[in-house]
Amino acid sequence: MHVNSSELDALALDFIAGVGSITQRNLIDYFGSPKAVIEASADELQQISGVGKVLSAKIIAGKSEAYKRAEKELLFVEKHQIKIYSYTDKSYPKRLRECPDAPMVFYYRGNADLDSARIVSVVGSRKATPYGRMLCEELIEKLSDYNVLVVSGLAYGIDVCAHKTSLDHRIPTVGVLGHGLHTIYPSVHRNIAVKMLDNGGLLSEFPSDTPADPKHFPQRNRIVAGLADVTVVVEAAKRGGALITAELANSYDRDVCAFPGNIGNEYSAGCNLLIKSHRAHLITSAEDLGYLMDWQPVNRAEKEEEKVAHIRLSDVEQTVYNIVKEGGMISIDGILNQSKVQPNKLPIVLLELEMKGLIIITPGKMYRVTIQGSV
């Protein structure tokens, strides 16, 4: 195994009991690196605010065991192609770095850019109603026009609805977990999680073998809020993780939006309260969110090119698709004349392109390419 010494030091410091993220940040800011913190004497450590004799003794006594644990963790992350992000890394996500209680170390597996230009966190009730799921699906579908990265917590209800709908519309989506990357909780979301690795990713501040403990989920919500420009609460009761995430986003001076719901509905009470108390902007659509954030939709033609680029076409299918695209509206005879495809094979090629969602046939039996969001 190739040992990255800076990662080893960062993990070792993170594994020393009693040294939380805020204390770690203070120590690193003063000493310059995790290694320098670990090598500091008790007297030097006690110069830092919040570090007394007890904590300095823990750091000195615990570093040997912490390094052993760090070496074991590095074996796991190397085996599973997991990337470690440390607060001292230049690649550490810029938005998250701004949060005073951000994790000093976290683990990430995926291909999404955690510094994407536009990041939206979508949260809500685990007991989502049909109304909540409808709002979530419509929001995510329309967000495909804005080139966003969607972040949520892979929990039941609104979270998994946001991830699934993002995948359906080829929007990159990242799940922030309340346990180590050795497992998926809840297990019924494993298939979705696997798909997210191809267009998004999974992220956790907890090392491998950390179980899904209830106390971890409110803790991970600060990452959900901290990674994003804006947090959208789709549906929520007066108490629960979604409101915790909204409060955290407010504390980070990030925008918060909420969909209004029926008065008296338990799972709309939280959203209505956020709006009423001016802790969230009222929105009813992705367009409202785009207006609030001053985001312009991407060019529809550009999106169509991206869509085509991700679909495998045979040489014949590519030729026919290009003819239809250039023709605007073209008959089957026009396609036949330009493509030189055998007459008995052309209808099959056209049907394949229709099935892939790339072209449609109009009532006048003319073909044209599909622009996402139109019929």
Question: Could you give the CA distance from residue 346 to residue 320 in angstroms, rounded to a whole number?
Answer: 9
Supply the pLDDT for residue 310: 66
The position carrying tokens 């622009």 is 371
- On the question of pLDDT at 94 being above 70, the answer is yes
Give me the chain's average pLDDT, please: 91
Dihedral sign of CA atoms 357, 358, 364, 365 in order: negative
Which residue ranges form the domains of the chain, and what is each CATH number?
5-79 (1.10.150.20), 111-293 (3.40.50.450), 300-369 (1.10.10.10)
The pLDDT assigned to 374 comes to 37
Model confidence at 309: pLDDT above 70: no
pLDDT of 130 > 70? The answer is yes
Evaluate whether 123 touches 242 at the Cβ level (below 8 Å).
yes
The mean per-residue pLDDT over the stretch 129-139 comes to 95
Q: Which of 50-59, 268-277, 346-355 is the most confident on average?
A: 268-277
Confidence of residue 286 (pLDDT cuts 50, 70, 90): very high
pLDDT of 39-81, one tens digit each?
Answer: 999 999 998 888 888 999 989 998 899 999 999 999 999 999 9
Side chain identity, residue 235 = E
Of residues 302 and 124, which shows the higher confidence score? 124
Q: Name the band, by pLDDT with cuts 50, 70 and 90, for residue 136.
A: very high
Tokens 């019924």 belong to residue = 188
User: Would you say how long the chain is, in residues?
Assistant: 375
**For 281, what's the count of Cα atoms within 13 Å in the CB-facing half-sphere?**
18
- Cα three-residue angle 213-85-163, rounded to 5 degrees: 55
Per-residue pLDDT, 300: 57
244-250 average pLDDT score = 96
